[in-house]
Amino acid sequence: MKINLGDISVKVVKKDIKNIHLSVYPPTGAVRLSAPLRMKSDTIRVFAISKLGWIKKQQEKLKKQDREAPRDYLDRESHYLWGERYLLKIVEEDAPPWVELKHKKILLYIRPEANQEKKEAMLDEWYREKLKEAIPPLIAKWEKLIKVKVNRFYVRRMKTKWGSCNSSSKSIRLNTELAKKPPDCLEYIVVHEMAHLMEPTHNKRFVALMDSLIPKWEFYRDMLNQSPLRHESWKKDI
């Protein structure tokens, strides 16, 4: 089902959910609306119309945001870890693939027949493992300060968010791209999602909580929002 609002097309997907969710996806600003199964089409359309200004604002932000150039995974290509630039070095060997950080280079050991997709997958897994190493100490630190318990965390590629949380399961989800950003940005997102376990909305209480926990949180938020996004080729039918 689609709703056309002038030159904006909104894809509608009905799910077994309680609330309506609206998302604008990079890189093209495609719009998707998830609605409860029993919600009437007229109600969905009225909601979409009421959010037209917000949709246009998000699409404009995506147009202005820089994107990384597509990666070819070749020698001397620039890649980032914790905000620092490294040059990629492909080392072909007939052995299981692995990645090593050496001086200012990321050494990717890979079989000679490995294609671009396999190189990308190996490097993505390496970034994921780096995050999995960095996150537990941060959670342990802030659990004591915020007085909340995180039962579990997940590391995932995410299209539109740096992180999310589930207050009922006391879990948080973090974007794998955070491994490429400065460590302070990762800590900010961890604290942001942990604070949502106390206050689920971005109301005045949440802002006051963030102000008390990380006084410079708005600086880190803006740093993330202004940093180049990963190049993605998402399907139109999101």
Of the ranges 12-26, 37-51, 59-73, 209-223, which one carries the lowest mean pLDDT score?
59-73
Position 69 scores a pLDDT of 61
Of the ranges 7-11, 62-66, 186-190, which one carries the lowest mean pLDDT score?
62-66
Would you say residue 25 has pLDDT above 50?
yes
The residue type found at 177 is E
Q: Report how far residue 131's alpha carbon sits from residue 163's, in angstroms, rounded to the nearest whole number.
A: 13
Contacts of 131 (CB under 8 A, 6+ apart): 155, 174, 176, 178, 179, 186
Summarize pLDDT for 178-189 with one digit per residue, the tens. 999 999 999 999
Domains of the chain: 2-64 (no CATH), 78-226 (3.30.2010.10)
Summarize pLDDT for 51-60 with one digit per residue, the tens. 999 999 988 8
Does the pTM exceed 0.85?
no
Position 105 scores a pLDDT of 96
Q: What is the mean pLDDT of residues 5-16?
A: 91
Considering just the CA atoms, what is the radius of gyration of the chain in Å? 20
Q: What is the mean pLDDT of residues 111-119?
A: 93
